[in-house]
């Protein structure tokens, strides 16, 4: 069995390196693989991060509509995660009372 989380971490690092080199299409390939892995293992944080990175690359490539779509998806997941985290904090507070 492969370490999917570790693979996603390395692919994300490769994508960041490609970004630094200005190789945005190559970075997009890496982030797309990260996205697939993160969805398969249900890692919403990494899913949001990869969507955001893809949005930034589309921005760098001049495809602003696609950039906005990806960033909006990332924002939606980030808000969802934050809301769930907030609910958990509220539940903990109620248990302490």
- For residue 46, what pLDDT is reported? 95
With a pLDDT cut of 90, the percent of the chain lying above it is 75
- For residue 2, what pLDDT is reported? 73
Q: How far apart are CA 47 and CA 40, in angstroms?
A: 10
pLDDT confidence band for 56 (50 / 70 / 90) = very high
Mean pLDDT of 18-36: 97
Q: Average pLDDT over the chain, rounded to whole?
A: 89
Mean pLDDT of 60-72: 97
Mean pLDDT of 25-48: 96
| Contact by Cβ (8 Å): 15, 55 | no
Tell me the domains of the chain and their CATH numbers: 4-96 (1.25.40.10)
The pTM is what? 0.83
Reading the block at residue 44, the tokens are: 């919403």
Terminus-to-terminus CA distance in the chain, angstroms? 44
């Amino acid at each position: 069995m492969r370490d999917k989380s570790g693979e996603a971490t390395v692919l994300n690092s490769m994508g960041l390196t490609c970004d630094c080199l200005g190789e945005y299409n190559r970075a997009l390939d890496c982030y797309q693989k990260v996205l697939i892995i993160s969805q398969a293992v249900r890692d919403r944080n990494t899913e949001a991060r990869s969507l955001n990175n893809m949005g930034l690359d589309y921005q760098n490539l001049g495809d602003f509509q696609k950039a906005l779509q990806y960033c909006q998806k990332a924002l939606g997941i980030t808000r969802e995660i934050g809301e769930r985290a907030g609910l958990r904090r509220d539940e903990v507070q109620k248990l302490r009372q």
